[in-house]
Amino acid sequence: MKNMKKINVTSSSMPPFEEYIEKIRPLWDSKWLTNCGSMHNLLEEKLQEYLGVKNVSLFSNGHLALYTALNSLNLTGEVITTPFTFISTTHAIVQNGLTPVFCDINPDDYTIDVNKIEKLITDKTSAIVAVHVYGNACDVEKIEEIAKKHNLKVIYDAAHAFGVKYKGRPITSYGDISMVSFHATKVFHTIEGGALIYNDDSLKSKIASLRNFGLAGQDQCDYIAMNAKMNEFQAAMGLCNLKHIDEEIEKRRRVVLRYQENLKGIKGIKYFQVQDNITPNYIYFPIVVNEEEYGETRDRLMERLADENIFSRKYFYPLTCDFKCYKDKGYRGDVEVARKIAERVLTLPLYASLTEEDVDRICKIIKKSEV
């Protein structure tokens, strides 16, 4: 009989129930549920301390945070970015009236290929929007060099990079602004949510206004903006989860090591090793399936896993430039490597509560062993 225990590709980590109830209990007395209450303000402080960064501004979700990051920097014209990302990245660019110019990715860690950025720069280019993919860090030093040379702003979509460090320095401290996502399935979450991280103190009041309808006081509105504030219940969940974050990452690390142990040496299956000088967060475990060597396509492997009640994800597929809403827009970019990876990548289940037995079961199917 088949083992029909369902294994989803992601699963949210939760703090102890009583811990969350105690955290939100004061809200029934204060009745202060949103608009930068005590939970919200405390979470910003705790995140600055934990991440080792200067400024954290919380948002109701990561997309609105990224949209606001772009909006706050007064960008115009073209923005060089990657199509190998979640659709939110491209949406945020276009929603700001900017034109995405797609740069290919490198074949090693699937971040933007820094050797192909400069040839895409024109007199219309105002910024680079790069993405730390699966917790893999972009070449931040080379991007900084290019940006300084051409007077460009740098925004990092760091949705996957909470807590990641490069040479001991927070990866989110690079660039003009980094956006991190606190969606329910991330390493750290606030149910929904996100944040902007930045070094320039002068941005703080502008970002605060842009996430609150553009208001700068009860009687003053300086910008045409939206409501993107994080509420107190979200912030309370974040405060609880932050207490357990190191344990969460360690549990994920063990899952990743189990995968690597099981899948080592299988022809046609590629997985990542930790990058040099990087402190990882083990947020995802993607594999790339080479049909010629493995003997079947990525899609067929995904189907076989689903037949056993195991659900993986083609993440990222398709490229953002290949979605219907962008395919016929004529945006520039040669993305041959990105398209090749998108057609072969499969993200396997990974979360803190995934057991070693679950990983072994998944890997037996990948190895085409008897389950």
CA dihedral 32, 35, 37, 43 (to 10 degrees): 140
Tell me the two tokens of residue 209: 């206004």
Please write down the HEC assignment for all residues of 352-371.
Answer: CCCCHHHHHHHHHHHCCCCC
Tell whether omega for the bond before 316 is within 30 degrees of 0, i.e. cis. Answer: yes
* Distance between CA atoms of residues 84 and 102, nearest Å: 9
pLDDT of residue 371: 47
Positions in the chain short of pLDDT 50: 1, 370-371
Residue 160, burial from CB neighbour count under 10 angstroms (0-12, 13-18, 19+): buried
User: Which H/E stretch holds residue 47?
Assistant: helix 38-51
Q: Do 140 and 168 contact (CB within 8 A), yes or no?
A: no
pLDDT for residue 286: 98
DSSP code for 194 = E
The beta strand positions in the chain, using DSSP E, are 55-59, 78-81, 99-102, 125-131, 153-157, 165-166, 169-170, 177-181, 194-198, 269-271, 278-279, 285-289, 345-348
Residues 125, 143, 118, 343, CA torsion sign: negative
**Residue carrying structure tokens 């990302």:** 85
112-121 pLDDT per residue, tens: 999 999 999 9
φ/ψ (deg, to 5) at 60: -70, -25
Strand partners, 271: 287
Whole-angstrom distance, CA of residue 102 vs CA of residue 181: 22
Q: What is the pLDDT of residue 333?
A: 86
Would the pTM count as exceeding 0.85? yes
Predicted local confidence at residue 1, as pLDDT: 46
- Domains contained in the chain, CATH given: 17-243 (3.40.640.10), 245-366 (3.90.1150.10)
Q: What is the pLDDT of residue 237?
A: 98
Q: What are phi and psi of 181, to 5 degrees?
A: -100, 140
